[in-house]
Amino acid sequence: MRAHWRTRTGFIIAAAGSAVGLGNIWRFPYMAGENGGAAFILIYLALIFTLGFSVLMAEQAMGRASQHSPVRAFRSLKGGFWPVFGMIGVLTAFVILPFYSVVGGWTLGYIWKSIEGVAREKGAFGAFISDGGLTILFHAIFMAMTIWIVHSGVRNGIEKWTRVLLTLLLVLLILLAIRVLLLPGAEKGIEFFFSPDFSKVTEDTIHAALSQAFFSLSLGMGVMITYGSYMSREKPLAGDAAWVVGLDSMVAILAGLVILPAVFAFGLDPKAGPSLTFITLPEVFAQMPGGKIFGVLFFLMLTVAALTSSISLLEVVTAHLEDEYQLSRVPTSIGAGLLMFLLGIPCALSFGAMADVTLFGMTFFDLMDYLSGKILLPLGAMGITFFVGWVAWSRVVQELNGEQGGIPGWASLWRLMCAVIAPLLILWIMFEGIAG
Ligand code: PHE
């Protein structure tokens, strides 16, 4: 029999754990910093509560209706060539997890560097990520933790661990936010965060907000189909989806409120890009009273956030192999995890020994990031929404209310999102993404 979440909040916890990750704490604040602050945040929130919410429910409904992982879900709801979109999801896990685990390894390394007190030294980050031996070691530790949780199963691994880790994350985040907001000068950061300047909004801003929304909610590759397949039919779907979207955006905003005011309080540059977390923040912590302990806690929180997302990536592959080939969980999760570890090695070396090895002008790391974010996730999300809106609608719509029965009044609005608006918007991101 298929495994189900142990508790009524099982799906919310696991799905929020998947959604909340490096995308919220590392990527969101620098994207907001680079794209004009509040205006970006408002557009992002508008997108996540309309489009993100609709795609999330589409995946959840497919999973729960079919009680299968992505490929079989498409097959049992319709068949034909549709399972290809499930395969794209499985493939996407092999593209995201290798580089995600490398960054997860960096965050682990930075816990250690913060304890040693060397995280803020000039050039420390560059030196660290170009040290192949060290980054591969941390990547291996991060991957081993991921495999450990997934191999323990849906209830005793994913649900149990995510509950603990997500709670830890929220506590740490609130603690850090309070500390930072008490810093003199933090108001400037808060102002930047809350006063939108719409004159800075361009097509690029919207485009950036849209791809960030998919990545951040873990949409387009079947994570939510897989997690949805472990749901029983008692509850209506929309409430759980709203919780996940709400928690994901709350963490992004709180992370922004930790990082941007701190950056402003010390007169640093909010537009530092991807290095904002690893270079600018250690600088902030070094200048702040009690900074060492807060630095350690921050990187611990980042590692925890990354871990609850990486397990969802490995789970997609594990569940697929279990369902399709009746393989057992333990060897499958270990085997798939090892393969992803190997694929991560060239990603880890992309900043050192293999920095000059490029394909289409990108290092291995950049190529995996590009392929997943700009091509595979949007393609998967387009397939899923189109499928739900046009092909499997009559079956999937029955899922909304679950055992309660009936179809809610807003279902036609949801259909409009899935059938027309989402696929068109996604097509636009993809063309923009590939051209840009
Ligand atoms: N949502 C995760 C984050 O914000 C990343 C992720 C993407 C996880 C796709 C699973 C699938 O970091």
Do the beta carbons of residue 235 and residue 8 sit within 8 Å? yes
Please compute Rg for the chain using Cα positions.
21
Regarding the beta carbon of 54 and ligand 1, being less than 6 Å apart is answered: no
What's at 265, amino acid-wise?
A
211 Cβ below 6 A of ligand 1: no
- Check whether 434 has a pLDDT greater than 70: no
Residue 330: the pLDDT is: 97
How many Å lie between the centroid of ligand 1 and the Cα of residue 136?
A: 21
**What's the mean per-residue pLDDT of the chain?**
91
Q: Which atom of ligand 1 is nearest to the CA of 312?
A: 10
pLDDT, position 435: 67
Find all residues with CB under 8 Å of 23, minimum gap 6, and list them: 212, 215, 216, 309
- What pTM value is reported for the model? 0.94
Residue with the larger pLDDT of the pair 299 and 373 = 299
Residue 312, ligand 1, Cβ within 6 A: yes
Q: Is 309 in the pocket of ligand 1 (CB under 6 A)?
A: yes
Could you give the residue ranges of the DSSP H alpha helices within 266-328? 280-287, 291-325
Whether the per-residue pLDDT at 37 is higher than 90: the answer is no
Express as a percent the part of the chain with pLDDT over 90: 64
> Are 281 and 125 a contacting pair, CB within 8 Å?
no
Residue 200 confidence (pLDDT): 77
Whether 146 lines ligand 1, by a CB cut-off of 6 Å, is no
User: Which of the four pLDDT bands, split at 50, 70 and 90, describes residue 404?
Assistant: confident
Q: Is 18 in the pocket of ligand 1 (CB under 6 A)?
A: yes
d(CA 327, CA 321): 6
Nearest Cα neighbor of 154 from 3, 371, 377, 320 is: 3
d(CA 238, CA 413): 13
Report pLDDT digits (tens) over 157-215: 999 999 999 999 999 899 888 888 888 888 888 888 788 878 878 887 887 888 889 89
Distance 215 CA to ligand 1 centre (A): 5
| Residues constituting the chain | 436
- Does the Cβ of 205 fall within 6 Å of ligand 1? no
| Cβ 212 under 6 angstroms from ligand 1 | no
What confidence tens digit (pLDDT) does each residue in 321-373 have?
999 999 999 999 999 999 999 999 999 999 988 989 988 889 999 899 888 88
The single-letter code of the amino acid at 57 is M
> Does the beta carbon of 385 sit less than 6 angstroms from any atom of ligand 1?
no
Structure tokens at 128: 């660290």
DSSP-derived 3-state class of residue 81: coil
Residue 279 pLDDT level (bands cut at 50, 70, 90): confident
| Residue 283 CB neighbour total at 10 angstroms | 19
d(CA 169, CA 247) in angstroms, rounded, equals 12
Q: Hey, whose CA ends up nearest to atom 7 of ligand 1?
A: 218
Q: Are 333 and 318 in contact (CB under 8 A)?
A: yes
| Residue 436 clears pLDDT 60, i.e. is over it | no
User: From ligand 1's centre to the CA of 28, what distance in Å?
Assistant: 12
Q: Is 252 in the pocket of ligand 1 (CB under 6 A)?
A: no
Distances (CA, A) of 207 to 28, 273, 421, 428: 14, 17, 15, 9
For residue 375, name the pLDDT band (cuts at 50, 70, 90).
confident
Residue 266 is given by DSSP the state: T
Looking at ligand 1, which residue's alpha carbon is closest to its atom 11? 218
Best of 309, 314, 379 to mutate for ligand 1, by most ligand atoms within 8 A of CB? Answer: 309
Asked if residue 215 has its Cβ within 6 Å of ligand 1, the reply is: yes
Asked whether the beta carbons of 315 and 226 are under 8 A apart, the reply is: yes
Q: What is the pLDDT of residue 433?
A: 63
CA distance 104 to 416: 38
Nearest-angstrom CA–CA distance, 255 and 277: 11
| pLDDT (tens digit per residue) in 281-298 | 888 888 888 888 989 999
Check whether 419 has a pLDDT greater than 80.
yes
Confidence at 114, pLDDT banded by 50, 70, 90: very high
Taking residues 25-54, report their average pLDDT: 90
| Angle, helices 53-66/70-77, rounded to nearest 10 degrees | 80
21 C-alpha to ligand 1 centroid (Å): 6
How many whole angstroms from 308 Cα to the centroid of ligand 1? Answer: 9
Q: What is the pLDDT of residues 240-271, one digit of tens each?
A: 999 999 999 999 999 988 888 888 888 888 88
Q: Work out which ligand 1 atom sits closest to the CA atom of 217.
A: 1
Q: How far is CA 83 from CA 2, 69, 71, 73, 223, in A?
A: 20, 11, 5, 8, 15
- CA 409, CA 177: separation in Å to the nearest integer? 40
Decide whether any atom of ligand 1 lies within 6 Å of the 96 Cβ.
yes
pLDDT of residue 264: 83
The answer to whether the CB of 22 is under 6 A from ligand 1 is yes
Take atom 10 of ligand 1 and give the residue whose Cα is closest. Answer: 218
Choose one of 218, 251, 310, 316 to mutate for the ligand 1 pocket test, by most ligand atoms within 8 angstroms of C-beta.
218
